[in-house]
Amino acid sequence: MLKAEQITVTFGGVRAVSDVSLAVPAGELLGLVGPNGSGKTTFLNAVCGIVPARGSLTVADRPVRLGRPNAACRAGIARVFQAPQTYGELSCLDNVLLSTSDRRLLGLTGAWPARPAMWKRERARWAFAMSALETVGLESCALEPASLLSYGQQRLLELARALAGSPSILLLDEPSAGLNDAETAALAALLGAVRAAGNTLVVVDHKIDFLDALCDRLVVLELGRVIASGPPDQVWRDDRVISAYLGVASDAEH
Amino acid sequence: MDKFVALTASGIAYGAVLAVVALGFLVLYKATGVVNFAHGDLVTLGAYLAVWTTTSLGLPTVPGYLAAIALMGLVGVAIERVAYAPLRSRPPMVVVIATLAAAIVIRGIIAVWQGSEPKTLAGPVGNRVVHIAGAAIAEQRLLITGVAAVAVLALLFVFQRTPYGRQVRALAADPEMARLTGVRTRLVAMGAFALSAMLAALAGILIAPLGAVDLNFGFGLMVTAFAAAVLGGFGSLGGVVLGALVIGLIQQLFGGYVLPDYAATFPAIVLFLVIAVRPEGLLNLTRSRL
Amino acid sequence: MRTYRTLLAGSVALMAVAACGSGGAGGSSSHAISGPIKLVGLWEVKGESPAAIDDYQNGAALAIEQITAAGGIAGKPVTLDRVPLSPSDPQKATSQFLQGVDKKPTMILGIPAATSVLAAKTQIDRAGIPLLATSSTTTPIRFGGPGGSKWLWLLQSYDGYKDQAAVKYATETLKASKIGLTGTSESYGTTNIADLTTALQAKSLKPFAVSKYAPNATDVTPTVLAMKGADAVITFAYPVPLAVQLRQFTQNGLNIPTIGSSSTNIAVQYKMVSGDPLKNVYSVVSCDPTQGSQRQLAKDFGTAYQQKYGTVPTDLAADAYDAVWVAKAAIEKAGSTDPAAINKAMAEVTVTDKVVCSDGYHADGAHVLSHDVSVDKFATAGTTQEIQKYTFPVQDAVK
| Domain co-membership, A139 together with A240 | no
Q: Is residue C399 part of a domain?
A: no
Q: What is the mean pLDDT of residues B67-73?
A: 96
- Let me know the angle formed at the C-alpha of A153 by A151 and A155, rounded to the nearest 5 degrees: 75
Q: Is residue C394 part of a domain?
A: no
Q: What is the pLDDT of residue B260?
A: 65
| Domain co-membership, C236 together with C300 | no
- Determine which of B141-155, B207-221, B265-279 has the lowest per-residue pLDDT on average: B265-279
H or E segment at C388?
A: strand C384-391
CA atoms within 13 A on the CB side of A157: 31
- Low-confidence stretches of chain A (pLDDT < 50) are 249-254
- Let me know the angle formed at the C-alpha of A117 by A111 and A123, rounded to the nearest 5 degrees: 90
Q: How confident is the model at residue B59 (pLDDT cuts 50, 70, 90)?
A: very high
| Domain co-membership, A161 together with A171 | no
| Domain co-membership, A137 together with A190 | no
pLDDT at C29 > cutoff 50: no
Q: What is the pLDDT of residue B281?
A: 65
| Domain co-membership, A136 together with A171 | no
Work out the minimum CA distance from B250 to partner chain A, whole angstroms: 32
What is the side-by-side strand order in the sheet with C258-260?
C209-213, C179-184, C232-236, C258-260, C281-285, C372-378, C384-391
Q: Is residue C320 part of a domain?
A: yes
Question: Which tops the pLDDT comparison, C308 or C24?
Answer: C308
No. of H helices and E strands in chain B? 12, 2
- A165, A197, A225 — which closes off a domain? A165
pLDDT at B83 > cutoff 90: no
Answer whether B183 touches A (CB < 8 Å).
yes
Q: Is residue A107 part of a domain?
A: yes
Q: Is residue A18 part of a domain?
A: yes
Residues 6+ away with beta carbon under 8 Å from C376: C264, C265, C282, C283, C284, C285, C288, C292, C384, C385, C386, C387
- C285, C319, C342 — which closes off a domain? C285
Q: Is residue A141 part of a domain?
A: yes
| Domain co-membership, C138 together with C165 | no
- Determine which of B177-186, B213-222, C262-271, C340-349 has the lowest per-residue pLDDT on average: B177-186
Which residue in C395, C310, C370, C297 sits closest to C63, CA to CA? C297
- Let me know the angle formed at the C-alpha of A75 by A74 and A76, rounded to the nearest 5 degrees: 90
Q: How confident is the model at residue C356 (pLDDT cuts 50, 70, 90)?
A: very high
Q: Which residues of B touch A70 (CB under 8 A)?
A: 179, 185
| Domain co-membership, A249 together with A175 | yes
Q: What is the pLDDT of residue B283?
A: 53
For residue A111, give the nearest of B164, B173, B177 by CB distance: B164
Chain C: residue whose CA lies nearest to B256? C222
| Domain co-membership, A113 together with A230 | no
- Determine which of B76-80, B182-186, B257-261 has the lowest per-residue pLDDT on average: B257-261
Q: Is residue C301 part of a domain?
A: yes
| Domain co-membership, A71 together with A94 | no
| Domain co-membership, C70 together with C153 | yes
Q: With an 8 Å Cβ cutoff, are B127 and C251 in contact?
A: yes
Q: Is residue A207 part of a domain?
A: yes
| Domain co-membership, C319 together with C205 | no
pLDDT tens readout for residues C103-117: 999 999 999 888 899
Q: With an 8 Å Cβ cutoff, are C251 and B136 in contact?
A: yes
Q: What is the pLDDT of residue C8?
A: 41
Q: What is the mean pLDDT of residues C38-46?
A: 93
Which residue in A80, C376, C247 sits closest to B140, CA to CA? C247
Domain range enclosing A160: 90-165
H or E segment at B11?
A: helix B2-32
| Domain co-membership, C171 together with C252 | yes
What is the side-by-side strand order in the sheet with A54-59?
A14-24, A2-11, A54-59, A62-63
Q: What is the mean pLDDT of residues B205-209?
A: 92
Q: How many domains does chain C have?
A: 2
Q: Which residues of B touch C51 (CB under 8 A)?
A: 116
Q: How far is it, in rounded angstroms, from Cα A199 to Cα A170?
A: 8
Q: What is the mean pLDDT of chain B?
A: 87
Q: How far is it, in rounded angstroms, from Cα C51 to Cα C8?
A: 32
Domain range enclosing C104: 29-157+295-372
| Domain co-membership, C145 together with C59 | yes
pLDDT tens readout for residues C358-387: 989 999 999 999 999 999 999 999 899 999
Q: With an 8 Å Cβ cutoff, are C51 and B116 in contact?
A: yes
Q: What is the dihedral of CA C122, C126, C128, C131, to 10 degrees?
A: -20
- A112, A135, A165 — which closes off a domain? A165
Q: Is residue A82 part of a domain?
A: no
| Domain co-membership, A131 together with A49 | no
Inter-residue contact C148 to C38 (CB < 8 Å): no
Q: With an 8 Å Cβ cutoff, are B10 and C221 in contact?
A: yes
| Domain co-membership, C109 together with C165 | no
Q: What is the pLDDT of residue C9?
A: 42
- A138, A165, A192 — which closes off a domain? A165
Q: B and A: touch, per 3+ CB pairs < 8 A? A: yes
- C285, C320, C335 — which closes off a domain? C285
Mutate to test the interface with B, among C46, C184, C218, C227 (most CBs of B within 10 A): C218
| Domain co-membership, A35 together with A144 | no
In whole angstroms, what separates CA C226 from the centre of its chain? 32
A243: domain CATH number is 3.40.50.300
Q: Is residue C13 part of a domain?
A: no
Answer whether B224 touches C (CB < 8 Å).
no
Q: Is residue C86 part of a domain?
A: yes
Which residue in A236, A203, A191, A212 sits closest to A30, CA to CA? A203
The pTM assigned to this predicted structure is 0.80
| Domain co-membership, C164 together with C280 | yes
pLDDT at C256 > cutoff 60: yes
pLDDT at B163 > cutoff 60: yes
Chain B: residue whose CA lies nearest to C185? B261
Q: What is the pLDDT of residue A247?
A: 64
Q: DSSP 3-state helix, strand, coil percentages of chain C (rounded to 5)?
A: 45, 20, 40
SS3 at position B86: helix
- Determine which of A117-121, B46-50, C204-208, C217-221 has the lowest per-residue pLDDT on average: A117-121
Answer whether B119 touches C (CB < 8 Å).
yes
- The percent of residues above 70 in pLDDT, for chain C, comes to 92
- C285, C318, C339 — which closes off a domain? C285
| Domain co-membership, C216 together with C313 | no
| Domain co-membership, A177 together with A248 | yes
- The percent of residues above 90 in pLDDT, for chain C, comes to 64
Which residue in B211, B24, B249 sits closest to C214, CA to CA? B211
Q: Which residues of B touch A112 (CB under 8 A)?
A: 158
Q: What is the pLDDT of residue B282?
A: 59
For residue B210, give the nearest of C46, C52, C244 by CB distance: C244
| Domain co-membership, A3 together with A71 | yes
Longest dimension (CA), chain A: 75
Name, of B80-89, C32-41, C68-77, the range with top average pLDDT.
C68-77
Q: What is the pLDDT of residue C203?
A: 93
Q: Is residue C8 part of a domain?
A: no
| Domain co-membership, C307 together with C264 | no
| Domain co-membership, C62 together with C141 | yes
Mutate to test the interface with A, among B155, B166, B171, B202 (most CBs of A within 10 A): B166
Q: What is the pLDDT of residue C31?
A: 61
Q: How far is it, in rounded angstroms, from Cα B10 to Cα A90?
A: 37
Residues 6+ away with beta carbon under 8 Å from C127: C7, C11, C97, C98, C101, C108, C151
Q: How confident is the model at residue C330 (pLDDT cuts 50, 70, 90)?
A: very high
Which residue in A139, A136, A115, A145 sits closest to A126, CA to CA? A139
Q: How many domains does chain A have?
A: 2
Output the DSSP codes for C260-310.
E-HHHHHHHHTTSS-SGGGTTEEEEES---STT-S-HHHHHHHHHHHHHHS
Answer whether B133 touches C (CB < 8 Å).
no
Q: Is residue A85 part of a domain?
A: no
| Domain co-membership, A104 together with A62 | no
Q: C and B: touch, per 3+ CB pairs < 8 A? A: yes
pLDDT tens readout for residues C283-295: 999 888 888 888 8
Q: Which residues of B touch C46 (CB under 8 A)?
A: 115
Q: Is residue C10 part of a domain?
A: no
SS3 at position C105: coil
C249: domain CATH number is 3.40.50.2300
- Complex ipTM, two decimals? 0.81
Q: With an 8 Å Cβ cutoff, are B163 and A79 in contact?
A: no
Number of CB pairs, chain B paired with chain C, less than 8 A apart: 95
pLDDT at C78 > cutoff 90: yes
Helix axes C239-251, C262-269, angle to 10 degrees: 80
